Structure 1
């Protein structure tokens, strides 16, 4: 198994950058006769549905906020339930400070927001009296991330919009995901950077890494010759599962965004009535 610290050769980086397009081409070839995989003209850009978060973005004129328009329906779908509540948010990537301002306006005055950036200049956005905190450090430094999590334990929302390298994305997930709140949301954006060689510094892209986690949702069925038998019993035998399986309700894949939704997952039970 490749770890985030493995440094890929130039040829491996090139192959990883092309992986998405190779996968598309392979599926299209395998099902060449299927209507689903035929080429069609792409639709021109149209504004996304006008959620409150999107309206705040559209009204911003400070030139300090850089977002893809198609991200806003995803934000609204996964974040809306936290509005006007005492929510805790960590976002990697402060840049010009616009997203800190966006989240404060969207979530409301009770929101506690922690931004992470490697640039010291971002400290100018540190306003603890407004519930906005800025931490300076490298998101690939696990000791630094642990220190941030001590200052903001059990965040409800974790957004990775940082350096976008594959190693940063993988290391940040591994260190932070176990520590977000029980029904929290972990969102990694700009995953399309995984198709660009300059952002690949591990032997697996974050997108491939995240895809592999789909299988963890099915870990319950890997401990028996008859995968379904234990779940038909009134007193089923104990089944050991990875922690990730026990705390992950769902994974969501969008254009350039991957979302992990946490939640306590109990042993499945099948019943005939």
Structure 2
């Protein structure tokens, strides 16, 4: 299903004709299964189901193409969400949502301007079934309408949740009593939300438990509806693989393993280091993966406290500028932003990143590094170096 998802994302980026060709090559049932899986992931039907007194609800999602159609029954109730053969109709007949499969793919994976509901039809149960309930009862359960509203909201790409809400929903500590990172992620990633992106996060979570963790991967998947998410962990986390989420087992302190991973899955638009937090590992990962980042990509380092704490992460507070620790390493890059302003060549040793980092943003325990060309020029510094008399000053000795 992951390959089908990738193919639909690429096709939706190009347009309806390419989506149609992809659907016809794979078959309607295969394409529809991928799209319905995505709709249900984003709809979070378990949330209204958990509300006290919500009752039961069911719906049928039908996707059509070229005179063919395929349908899936979804039932929601106090015991959770059931799909397909496991589902059973609720007390009322299910509502049916019908939509063209190409229109659905474009709504989910295409640029926002291609979202459309032109082919959509919602078939509610017969008035002979529904109207007497209004008059004589029992009342229509809240879930009856809620499940339809949630699915329609997804198909319309309407009012997407922010990262703080998604962090809580998916159980990641990026917003918790430990950290409040999501406000900063929202500021930097919000403008990128509807782009086709590849996001790589080092550190899946759950430690050695092969089935635990992955909360932030799911958060990124939902936040970036057209994104492909990759999680790198020293443990085997393949049990967490889902459509648009791929895990890779690799040691972040091993440059060859990281380079091999990046060659296979990159280039990445975003890399987030939430791994061991040990400075040698963080620095090795940056030196290896930053060159594999897209030219306008963003590299993020979380949990900078590891740079200071000797007990847990072998950090140090003795020299806050020491480049062998994460924060000192990043501080050196701040000088690199201004590499064209130094008057003496011996002031600092040039670094490979001087010309490829265009911005660095520090927050509490968090840093964002923007990749991009950093060659704006330093005209006054150039004159001070080469012809200071033009400014009425003496040259440096």
TM-score class, shorter-chain normalisation, is: 0.5 to 0.7
Aligned to 1:149: 262
**Whole-angstrom CA distance in 1 between matches of 2:354 and 2:221:** 32
**Whole-angstrom CA distance in 2 between matches of 1:224 and 1:168:** 33
SS for the counterpart of 1:174 is: helix
Aligned to 2:253, which of 120, 126, 140?
140
Aligned to 1:11: none
SS for the counterpart of 1:149 is: helix
**Whole-angstrom CA distance in 1 between matches of 2:186 and 2:194:** 14
Highest RCO, 1 vs 2 (Cα 8 Å, sep ≥ 6): 1
SS for the counterpart of 1:181 is: strand
Contact 2:307 2:315 in 1 (8 A): no
**Whole-angstrom CA distance in 2 between matches of 1:262 and 1:268:** 17
Aligned to 2:173, which of 66, 76, 81?
66
SS for the counterpart of 1:156 is: strand
**Whole-angstrom CA distance in 2 between matches of 1:262 and 1:74:** 17
1:255 paired with 2:370, answer no
**Whole-angstrom CA distance in 2 between matches of 1:145 and 1:105:** 25
Aligned to 2:22: none
Aligned to 1:79: 189
Aligned to 2:325: 205
Contact 1:167 1:201 in 2 (8 A): no
Aligned to 2:292: 179
Contact 1:159 1:188 in 2 (8 A): yes
Aligned to 2:7: none
**Whole-angstrom CA distance in 1 between matches of 2:289 and 2:278:** 16
Deviation per residue, 1:128-155 (Å, 9 max, x gap): xx12111001100000000111122221
Aligned to 1:15: none
**Whole-angstrom CA distance in 2 between matches of 1:217 and 1:269:** 11
**Whole-angstrom CA distance in 1 between matches of 2:227 and 2:356:** 24
**Whole-angstrom CA distance in 2 between matches of 1:209 and 1:166:** 9
Contact 2:255 2:284 in 1 (8 A): yes
For the pair shown, which has the larger CA radius of gyration, 1 or 2?
2
Aligned to 1:100: 217
Aligned to 1:163: 276
Contact 2:164 2:175 in 1 (8 A): no
Aligned to 1:219: 339
Aligned length: 202
1:90–1:217: structure 2 CA closer, same or farther, 3 Å change rule? same
SS for the counterpart of 1:246 is: coil
Q: Which stretches in structure 1 are left out of the alignment for 5+ residues?
A: 1-50, 226-240
Provide the TM-score with structure 1 as the length reference: 0.68
Contact 1:167 1:200 in 2 (8 A): no
| Residue 267 of structure 1, CA deviation | 3.6
Aligned to 2:198: 88
SS for the counterpart of 1:187 is: strand
SS for the counterpart of 2:232 is: strand
| Residue 243 of structure 1, CA deviation | 3.4
Aligned to 1:23: none
Larger % of strand: which? Answer: 2
Aligned to 1:229: none
Q: Which stretches in structure 2 are left out of the alignment for 5+ residues?
A: 1-160, 206-212, 317-321, 381-397
**Whole-angstrom CA distance in 2 between matches of 1:72 and 1:136:** 26
**Whole-angstrom CA distance in 2 between matches of 1:250 and 1:57:** 26
| Residue 205 of structure 1, CA deviation | 1.4
Aligned to 2:239: 124
**Whole-angstrom CA distance in 1 between matches of 2:280 and 2:313:** 9
**Whole-angstrom CA distance in 1 between matches of 2:341 and 2:360:** 18
